[in-house]
Structure 1
Amino acid sequence: MRILLLAVILNWNLLSICGDEENKDWWQTTVFYQIYPRSFQDSNGDGIGDLKGITSRLDHLKEAGVGATWLSPIFKSPMVDFGYDISDYLSIQEEYGTMEDFDELIAKAKELGIKIILDFVPNHSSDKHEWFIKSEAKDPEYIDFYIWHDGKPNPDGGRNLEPNNWVSVFYGSAWTWSDKRQQYYLHQFTKQQPDLNYRNPKVVERMSDVLRFWLKKGVYGFRVDAINHLFEVEDFIDEPVNAFDPDPKSYGHLFHYYTVDLNEVYDVVYQWRDLLDDFKKTHGGETRIMMTEAYANMSFVMRYYENDEGTRKGSHIPFNFLMISDLNGDSTARDFAHTISKWMNYMPVGFTANWVMGNHDNSRVASRYGVERIDALNTMLLTLGGVGITYNGEEFGMVDYKNISWKDTQDPAACNTNPDVYQKYSRDPERTPFQWDNTKNAGFSTADKTWLPVNPNYVDLNLKAEKEAEHSHFKFYQKLTKLRQHKTFQNGNIKVQALSKYVFAFVRELRDSDTFVVVINLGANAEEVSLKPFKTLHDKLKVVAAAPTSQYHEGDEVSTDDLKIGQYDSIILTDVNHINNFASKCCGCNMLLISSMLLAWMLALNNF
């Protein structure tokens, strides 16, 4: 009988663990919102967004259900790449305000319960940074703070040739000659953005000091820009040519085996994670986090979570760009189901998923997938679980302004080309000013000319109109952010299934909690589908949320056998008999319990 009792106790513990609610940290379930400061809100009428403008609009983030916001760079900069060329990591860019303005922003955000994350740009500085100026002058302290090279001997005499064939992400050679130092320096982006030398431990420590400075100012972490560019091979060999891109100045002309994704990158990331963890231990408070940006293959991205041995932790949120890189408006339900599962399957056990739909470097969601799918994409973003990341304006469906003239173009990636091809390279269309209302400049600025032109569609598409409408993209977004606070969406399992070419669904389940079903139609036609592939569901489901154009309303009851879903529709359903249904099939625990009980009885009888 003792054996029987032990078996029952052991298996009851197993049953209670399976699917139980976890204690999640603040960042694991929140919605992050990227603000592009230059385009968010202008407070002083100069046509450029600023910190006071952001502070004045933080209530919108609270209203939208956002828990944290990361700001594109606000540091002192010549603005060649609009803040990604930093001349002083410890000062605020004058156009954006003062350190006092930043302190006010932190205080207001704290009052609203919104955490501020800063964009950290470690790969390069501005060529106007004191470090580069001293390095170019061969100051002994800074002589190897950057990547310098003599170049290759010129067989025709004269100045040495460039060290190799490396090209810049922003078009053209990655090497620029310094007359002052009589050497070439490396820049993987613009020539005004020289690459720092992370093989010099002094550089790592100086950048670590930057992190500590802003942590003490009250930020909750950093989004680390272009992290996989941090190291290059030391022998500077040529990169192999990609024959499918014949332009030798194009970044796509080469396969980048020697300038990105080197093993040394991860060690620096692990060091910075230790720094963040140590800061919390020393100063208390909540977890300070790291988000990393690396457009790389999955095996490389996953190493940002932890090292191969699992002994060192790295990024809390290695950005998941699959929704940008692998999917588009032509993608099918099977493509979406596969892509979602791909990230979940690759992700190490015990870590947190994240979903990125858009950002300042890529065409807006509504433009990339089609304006008719914005609600479907926001539904997916906010109900998949883990971290959801929204780019400002996509909560109500802003679109790219593609007709920006060559004269008004600002993006260096485009300006480095020419009037015939600039639109192919420009990121300006997704960076246009935020459309608050239908007044002058969409309520963004009182200036006669804004730094980028406002999309003319602001007269009809603006946040004020969305808030006043009975049904709108924004109101549906609000409903989704509230719904994701439910413990099933925060902690539940997920099962994804393509139901037809354009309709897919996923079930979110959690023991002793509501079961939810999210159904999304990406296609232009209404369809009738069956949810029977999800074996745990009962016959009748109830609508808890539906897209603004849906035929369904909250409280409607539908059948799992013949669910009718309209074109581009997205609905969220709950199982009327959720608790009994899920508990009875939780990971097969009950079957295991019964089997173990029978085994225990047999052992007990044998003992007798």
Structure 2
Amino acid sequence: MMGKTIGLLLIAFALCQLSRGERDWWENGNFYQIYPRSFKDSNGDGIGDLIGILEKLDYVKDIGMNGVWLSPIFQSPMADFGYDISDYTKVQPEYGTSEDLLALIDKAHSLGLHLILDFVPNHTSDEHEWFQRSIANDSYYRDFYIWHDGVINATTGKRQPPSNWISQFRYSAWEWNEQRQQYYLHQFGVKQPDLNYRNPNVVEEMNNVLRYWLARGIDGFRIDAVPFLFEADIDPATGTYPDEPVIADTSSCPDPDDWCHLNHIYTNSLPEIFNIVYQWRKVVDEWKREHNTDTKVLLTEAYTSFENLMRMYGDGVHNGSHIPFNFEMMAELNNKSTASDYDYYVRHWLDNMPAGVYANWVLGNHDNPRLASRFGAQRADLMNIFLQTLPGIAVTYNGEEYGLEDGYVSWEESVDPQACNADPSTYLKYSRDPERTPFLWDNTKNAGFSTADRTWLPVGQSYETNNIEAQYAADNSHLKIFKTLTKLRKSEPAFTDGDYKSAVGDGWLAYARKASSGSPHIVIVNIGDSKVTLNFNELFDNISANLEVVTSSLQSGLANGQSVDASAFEAQPYNGYVLRVKSEE
């Protein structure tokens, strides 16, 4: 018997949302992240823009999305490609105009899509008016940022930074400003000074940024780098900031200039961050109530502890993030992970999230290698099947719906500051350029992304036969599989309302999704390199012998609608499957 050779783990979750009646637009939704610089260039300058996105918005609707999140488009010197904002109320000219953004909002709404902006509140550009006025000691803006005189080195007699804090982009997080004769804090690039959230005027100014865009029809915000919003305050006994301890095992990060060399107990995930998130939730909830609009959602980015992610939802008194991005799988799963690892991270979130909220699943974004590169191209469909068939909200990074892999970007072509702060021998360890290369629309020049002779990043891969146009034309493709999955999530009660019951074996994970109505479905992901034969009647109760294939990996050899044997189903290596339980005939 299979039970003698394969350890099974069975668990079912009653999802809290089952009794909540009709869902809001974002609940159980599909969110699509667009990296604007690389999506579609409409004017031939080699850089993607808002009109390019507008021109392709029908595609986004066609692949089954509910919400569209744009990576930063605000005015910026582009030292960190939009994460250094010089004006939160203006569009970066190379992306277009405010009128273009309003047209994009209108187009999205006409298609039933909701548009979400990237909100970068931890820091501004050093070219922002607030920072320039802070440098000049303007009375209102003087304390908008973190400033300090520094300390005198007892040995050398020279002035030095007030603490050993390190930037995410390497080296000291303190930079001397000659005009003000003080150091300012920058937890990211030198041109990205940190705002001071202990100043209530900063808090209110950022609240007003949200209100400004809500008034123009934006449907929500993805909030960047939440754990960095607060740092330890000055120690009154010493008049300076406390040094952070070096990590216990420096062999994992031996370079003292690297962010990972320190344990960030004074600069990351301080308790105060949650109250700011709760305040922002209050702003968007009040807007919905006062203006009788659709729900305005908050999506929060926080690479932090699991306990902190749960607190992002709320504290039992205050509501927090609608979607605190679940990065557990993205951070912990790789092409060496076991099927038990996959199941663990599903159950871990579902079993621990507060009542009355929705789970969410994020497998990729603009800061991490693409799914097909991270897990292997042969698992591209498997990973999308996994993402789209879990209970809750799915987030897809543009390109991963059709199996796009990382593009190659040479040292000479690199533009990511994390890479440029390294060297030719190590830059690929730090670079985020490969996952940001242009979208492959067709087989024309630059894959249809741009007519320019040079694009901001090279296309970086072959596109002549693998592109969106070709995948639409094919009898079957990664893209068509993805579209089947998104349709399934919207139409089948098993995926809109169903519970999750799993069985794990050596290299494979199977789970049943079943609701009070509609047909039960079974999902199998065989992440291993060996074929397995599964008897679903042993794994799950009350499974009919009649199963049919809804969709499966491109290389599975099975046709949609094909009948399969529930008692002896063969799952091929690196393949994912969605099977529907047919009624007894």
Shorter-normalised TM-score: what interval?
A: over 0.9
Corresponding residue number in structure 2 for 1:65: 64
1:129 aligns with 2:90: no
CA distance in 1, matches of 2:123, 2:18: 45
Deviations 1:192-221 (A, max 9, x none): 000000000000000000000001111100
Corresponding residue number in structure 2 for 1:350: 356
Which residue among 312, 323, 332 is the counterpart of 1:326? 332
Which residue among 574, 580, 588 is the counterpart of 2:580? 574
Give the 5 Å matches for 1:141-220. 141-156=140-155, 159-220=158-219
Give the 5 Å matches for 1:568-607. 568-577=574-583
* Deviation at residue 545 of structure 1 after TM alignment: 2.1
Task: Indicate if the aligned counterparts of 1:231 and 1:264 stay in contact, CA closer than 8 A.
Answer: yes
1:303 aligns with 2:308: no
CA distance in 1, matches of 2:197, 2:330: 29
Which residue among 249, 256, 260 is the counterpart of 2:268? 260
Corresponding residue number in structure 2 for 1:106: 105
**Measured at CA, do residues 19 and 576 of structure 1 come closer, stay the same or move farther in structure 2, by a change above 3 Å?**
farther
Corresponding residue number in structure 2 for 1:27: 26
Which has the larger helix fraction? 1
Amino acid at match of 1:222: F
CA distance in 1, matches of 2:373, 2:366: 13
* Deviation at residue 510 of structure 1 after TM alignment: 0.9
Task: Indicate if the aligned counterparts of 1:21 and 1:492 stay in contact, CA closer than 8 A.
Answer: no
Corresponding residue number in structure 1 for 2:512: 507
Deviations 1:514-564 (A, max 9, x none): 211111111222221222222242333222222222232233333332211
* Deviation at residue 474 of structure 1 after TM alignment: 0.1
Percent of aligned pairs with the same residue?
50
1:281 aligns with 2:289: yes
Q: Secondary structure at the match of 2:88?
A: strand
CA distance in 2, matches of 1:567, 1:339: 21
Corresponding residue number in structure 2 for 1:523: 528
Corresponding residue number in structure 2 for 1:593: none
Task: Indicate if the aligned counterparts of 1:551 and 1:566 stay in contact, CA closer than 8 A.
Answer: no
Corresponding residue number in structure 2 for 1:439: 444
Amino acid at match of 1:122: P
* Deviation at residue 20 of structure 1 after TM alignment: 5.6
Task: Indicate if the aligned counterparts of 1:65 and 1:478 stay in contact, CA closer than 8 A.
Answer: yes
RMSD of the alignment, in Å? 1.7
CA distance in 1, matches of 2:20, 2:380: 31
Higher Rg: 1
Q: Secondary structure at the match of 1:116?
A: strand
Deviations 1:268-302 (A, max 9, x none): 00011011110000111210000000011101111
Which residue among 397, 408, 417 is the counterpart of 1:412? 417
CA distance in 2, matches of 1:466, 1:172: 45
Corresponding residue number in structure 2 for 1:547: 553
* Deviation at residue 186 of structure 1 after TM alignment: 0.5
Amino acid at match of 1:514: S
Corresponding residue number in structure 1 for 2:456: 451
* Deviation at residue 158 of structure 1 after TM alignment: 5.3
Q: 373-382 or 481-490: which moved more?
A: 481-490
Which residue among 237, 243, 246 is the counterpart of 1:238? 243
CA distance in 2, matches of 1:576, 1:409: 52
Q: Secondary structure at the match of 1:28?
A: coil
Task: Indicate if the aligned counterparts of 2:493 and 2:517 stay in contact, CA closer than 8 A.
Answer: no
Amino acid at match of 1:124: H
Deviations 1:22-65 (A, max 9, x none): 32211012211000001111111110011111101101101111
* Unpaired stretches in structure 1, ≥5 consecutive residues: 1-14, 581-608
Q: Secondary structure at the match of 1:303?
A: helix
CA distance in 2, matches of 1:23, 1:246: 53
CA distance in 2, matches of 1:494, 1:536: 15
Q: Secondary structure at the match of 1:338?
A: helix
Task: Indicate if the aligned counterparts of 1:175 and 1:186 stay in contact, CA closer than 8 A.
Answer: yes
**Measured at CA, do residues 564 and 32 of structure 1 come closer, stay the same or move farther in structure 2, by a change above 3 Å?**
same
Amino acid at match of 1:522: I
* Deviation at residue 19 of structure 1 after TM alignment: 5.7
Q: Secondary structure at the match of 2:118?
A: strand
* Deviation at residue 575 of structure 1 after TM alignment: 2.0
* Unpaired stretches in structure 2, ≥5 consecutive residues: 1-13, 235-240
Residue-pair matches, total: 560
CA distance in 2, matches of 1:93, 1:431: 18
CA distance in 1, matches of 2:17, 2:156: 73
Corresponding residue number in structure 2 for 1:586: none
Corresponding residue number in structure 2 for 1:429: 434
Moved over 3 A (4+): 17-22, 156-159
* Deviation at residue 566 of structure 1 after TM alignment: 1.5
CA distance in 1, matches of 2:406, 2:195: 33
Deviations 1:375-410 (A, max 9, x none): 0110111110211111011110111113x1222100
Q: Secondary structure at the match of 1:518?
A: strand
Amino acid at match of 2:298: M
Task: Indicate if the aligned counterparts of 2:17 and 2:497 stay in contact, CA closer than 8 A.
Answer: no
* Deviation at residue 18 of structure 1 after TM alignment: 11
Q: Secondary structure at the match of 1:420?
A: coil
CA distance in 1, matches of 2:539, 2:572: 20
